[in-house]
Structure 1
């Protein structure tokens, strides 16, 4: 027997929070979200160019594709603890500082190993940001979850869309090192904004806490007492079946997202497209995902049954993969289909807030789903390239890496189709997973 749920209705607040401090928070959320995929998509179109200079193979390209997932897996699981120690605003500032610093220094990398390590530093920051942003949205905008989830999604996609579009032309003009390092300005600006927001919260905390005690209200903007975020799940998140199912679904979606970010340029250049055209196709995929994703947060938050939404995205993936394999000359059509599938990332991220009722519940679920899910997805990009090396063709890669993951995601999406909240699942009687 499943626990009772509290279906999330988009933009329906139980108590409307004060607006003070939310403008800066909104700007900081947008700036941080711009950087969450930029670290990956600014490098992937340049891997062929960098590979010629450093002399690495397809397996190393797969390692670069797997590196984000390693960072997201490790730091997805530990970010909630960092947030409890530093606070969410300081964690967001740290994440952007690491991202910006990593992007700057990796542009000076002298060899493959150094480039991997420095890219890992930048990805560590992006991993922290991935986890901390959903609970920050829950904390500052509990009355605008659908709207802010859409804003975050647009910013993430914008940060993923433009770098591959301009990376190759910029590298041809200024060199690949400049094309990598120039994007660090966005991350460093986001770090400054979150530092300013954290300073404001610390400055206003005593007054807000006193105001809350006088009125009996619980602050909703994160500038108040410790219990402002809510009690969170009643038992460890790893003991809740809903969390594991969401992590597996997130993992299968992420598996394909990063496989495509890593390998789509190589697949298209191998089929006769130019490197610049292949980079433009990555941007088209991201842009298509952005268009489909504009309605995804609202649909997800309002859905009584999320399976049709996920099934539609999985169908887009399947059609896109088949098209790229069978008729690569029609790449724009298939890339749009892949963009529909990639928009599932927005759906799974929105589920984190849709299936939690408190900021602490959102933080716990965000960390676990992104950490465990990214761990599940680790094999995608590396296995895709390894099978290519072993078989001399892409057939096994398409069949096992793409087809197998889509089949698993379809089954999990059907099982986890009803939006039970993580707090309700954790509080289920008898201690059994919810």
Structure 2
């Protein structure tokens, strides 16, 4: 048993922040979360159509699939510094403004390079949002972590589910530019909500009365020297590796197997919908688990069965994407672990930035290598075996090593000798698991 394991309680009822400002924060969190995958899934079903107009090949599709991970890697690492400079609410407002403006402008892109650059702007905003939302949840809802993690997860999945479902029909009706830019309004609304929340905090709202998202003492050691943070980043990286490989290449794989582009987009939505259904219970189960390995192993098995099915029997694709949905629900598990494995808002911000930044950097190879091997070999077998299968094996090993929950604060302290005196435990402090 590691020192100071996380409490098994899903929520922290002894922490009761004032309700003022929490309703607006809840709505702002939901609207922001809707955009975190929408930027990606609104484009991926249209890449073949856009490629025909702009004249780019499969390798460029792989670049589009890798671009989100570049943004998530870079801004995952620097967002905590931005939060310290601007504050968490202002950072959330900035993230949604960049997302909305990038989505509007890329719909008017005249060529491949401009489309890549403006997609990068939109993804910069999504990357900021990825990191800032977990500590904002810890800040405003420390007594409702499981519930709010579930709310965030549902919003992320809904934002990922609907664009591929309607992208091709909308593009056939109004053109791909309308189909791509129509989603920007959600991000712009979210930016206004966070501006209002930021202004309310400045007038003495909840945010000024509770710990900020960068509050709490500094970690006892730099996060770069904490093995737990690296293991969680590797696990997050392998999960994200597969999520974005599927977002990028599943429509192409299904189209190559004989499904129409519209059907392929619908099947991507079915995968996201299945992930949503499995993910509804994932935050509560993850927060309660004394051993997270069975949860992760089940999701990895879903990935394995899904990949095998699409490769060997694509005619039954609706069944296989359900298994892939079980696998992609691991993203919810790893995101929940960020809040579950921190006991202070500052720890949550540090762990969120490091895990998502380093993990996204690790995941960069997934979409690019999957497409590159496909082009080099003239088929998808090597991509399935080496890119997908190899990442699942790595994730399985890391999940077993990092199976017992504990906090980043406790991990930072573990290499130091015990102090002679300890401060009194608070409701947010880690509590050893029973037994």
1:139-190: CA deviations, max 9, x gaps? 0000000000000000000000000000000000010001111100000000
Matching of residue 51 in structure 1 with residue 37 in structure 2: no
CA distance in 1, matches of 2:214, 2:392: 39
Give the deviation of 1:234 after TM superposition: 1.8
Give the deviation of 1:238 after TM superposition: 1.2
Question: Which of these residues, 290, 293, 296, is aligned with residue 304 of structure 1?
Answer: 290
Which residue number in structure 2 is paired with residue 211 of structure 1? none
Which residue number in structure 2 is paired with residue 209 of structure 1? none
Matching of residue 155 in structure 1 with residue 139 in structure 2: no
Which residue number in structure 2 is paired with residue 339 of structure 1? 325
Which residue number in structure 1 is paired with residue 259 of structure 2? 273
TM-score norm. by structure 2 comes to 0.94
Number of aligned residues: 417
CA distance in 1, matches of 2:116, 2:271: 25
Q: Which runs of 5+ in 1 are unaligned?
A: 206-219
Give the deviation of 1:226 after TM superposition: 6.3
Which residue number in structure 2 is paired with residue 125 of structure 1? 125
Which residue number in structure 1 is paired with residue 368 of structure 2? 382
CA distance in 2, matches of 1:28, 1:247: 27
Question: Which of these residues, 345, 355, 362, is aligned with residue 348 of structure 2?
Answer: 362
- Distance 1:227-1:77 versus aligned 2 partners, 3 A rule: closer
Q: In 2, are the aligned partners of 1:34 and 1:159 still within 8 Å (CA)?
A: yes
CA distance in 1, matches of 2:137, 2:398: 27
Give the deviation of 1:9 after TM superposition: 1.6
Give the deviation of 1:7 after TM superposition: 2.5
CA distance in 2, matches of 1:429, 1:363: 21
Q: In 2, are the aligned partners of 1:171 and 1:179 still within 8 Å (CA)?
A: yes
Q: In 2, are the aligned partners of 1:352 and 1:366 still within 8 Å (CA)?
A: yes
Which residue number in structure 2 is paired with residue 180 of structure 1? 180
Which residue number in structure 2 is paired with residue 100 of structure 1? 100
Give 3-state SS (helix, strand or coil) of 1:229's partner: coil
Q: In 2, are the aligned partners of 1:297 and 1:350 still within 8 Å (CA)?
A: yes
- Distance 1:70-1:227 versus aligned 2 partners, 3 A rule: closer
Give the deviation of 1:229 after TM superposition: 2.7
CA distance in 2, matches of 1:331, 1:15: 46
Higher mean C-alpha deviation, range 94-103 or range 224-233? 224-233
1:89-137: CA deviations, max 9, x gaps? 0000000000000000000000001100000000000000000000000
Give 3-state SS (helix, strand or coil) of 1:385's partner: helix
Higher mean C-alpha deviation, range 228-237 or range 298-307? 228-237
Give the deviation of 1:371 after TM superposition: 0.1
Give the deviation of 1:3 after TM superposition: 3.0
TM-score norm. by structure 1 comes to 0.94
Give 3-state SS (helix, strand or coil) of 2:391's partner: helix
CA distance in 2, matches of 1:6, 1:225: 20
Q: Which runs of 5+ in 2 are unaligned?
A: 418-435
1:276-316: CA deviations, max 9, x gaps? 00000000000000000000000000000000000000000
Which residue number in structure 1 is paired with residue 199 of structure 2? 199
- Distance 1:164-1:5 versus aligned 2 partners, 3 A rule: same
Give the deviation of 1:59 after TM superposition: 0.5
Give the deviation of 1:227 after TM superposition: 9.3
Q: In 1, are the aligned partners of 2:212 and 2:345 still within 8 Å (CA)?
A: no
Q: In 2, are the aligned partners of 1:232 and 1:358 still within 8 Å (CA)?
A: no
Give 3-state SS (helix, strand or coil) of 1:195's partner: helix
1:32-69: CA deviations, max 9, x gaps? 00000000000000000000000101100000000000
